[in-house]
Amino acid sequence: MNKVGLVLLFVLVSSLPAFAFVIPLSEQGQAHSQAPLHSAVIGPDWGIERIDFIHYANGKTVVHPAKPAKPTVCYKLLGYSWKTTPVNYYINPTNSQGLSSSFVTSAFSTAAETWDDATSKELFNNAYAVDTSAVYGVRDGKNSIVFGSYPNSGVIAVTSIWFSRKNRELVEFDQLYNTYFAWGDSSVNPALMDLQNIATHELGHGVGLDDIYTSSCSAVTMYGYSYEGDLAKRTLETADITGLRLMYGN
């Protein structure tokens, strides 16, 4: 190519807007991407982003109280919340472990009400929907809760949220509960991963709370690790409630 051609090509390319070279992931690509913790994924429409929260199994945790001289704040806000409540959510109770639909829906609805009871605002619609067509990882206007296989056996559950950075607003969440683990009621069988316990943590992400990994905060619901037999996250601690009320009021 001669010099004139090169100059013309440079002018043409440099005159294009920067965003012309950004190719967003498709919905299918998002659903199958192995996004690391807190990775933002651009959605199919500009301005909407996605974050995946990975909940890991880490053995039984010992609580280490914070030193009095340096009190630890055991909550963290995402900076995004629901502007219109209550939000609807869709439970797909289909599972390979023989859990009844009534047990599954009771665990999730009880977990949702745990957050509702801690603030005057009704966050979750009491009339949840049972939807066997609900799927994880696709932004389809449904806040979907499903069981499924996750490729990392150390991951208990994943919550993905979609949000508008411009409006600081949550717009959707999906949750996947990894069938690598045996789910059930740990108050009956401590060898099981307690569904209500984990659901309460995951729904905390659904309303705008981040994970906490400080070991002195291991008793709070939003602590980022759990284990079979753990029941402590079924109920909220003062720090969880403080964070929630900063977003939604007392």
Q: What is the DSSP string of 154-198?
A: TEEEEEEEEEETTTTEEEEEEEEEETTSPEE-TTT-TTSEEHHHH
Predicted confidence at residue 58, as pLDDT, reads: 82
Predicted confidence at residue 42, as pLDDT, reads: 42
Question: Does CATH number 1.10.3720.10 belong to domain 35-248?
Answer: no
Please check whether residue 73 is in contact with residue 109, taking contact to mean a CB–CB distance below 8 angstroms: no
Backbone angles phi, psi at 35, to 5 degrees: -75, 130
Predicted confidence at residue 116, as pLDDT, reads: 98
Please check whether residue 131 is in contact with residue 92, taking contact to mean a CB–CB distance below 8 angstroms: yes
| 176, β-bridge pairs | 146, 158
Residue type, 93: P
Backbone angles phi, psi at 140, to 5 degrees: -130, 15
pTM of the model: 0.79
Six token digits for residue 237: 């601690």
Predicted confidence at residue 47, as pLDDT, reads: 83
The DSSP letter of residue 82 is: -
Please check whether residue 235 is in contact with residue 222, taking contact to mean a CB–CB distance below 8 angstroms: no
Domain locations in the chain? 35-248
In the chain, which stretches have pLDDT less than 50? 3-44, 61-70
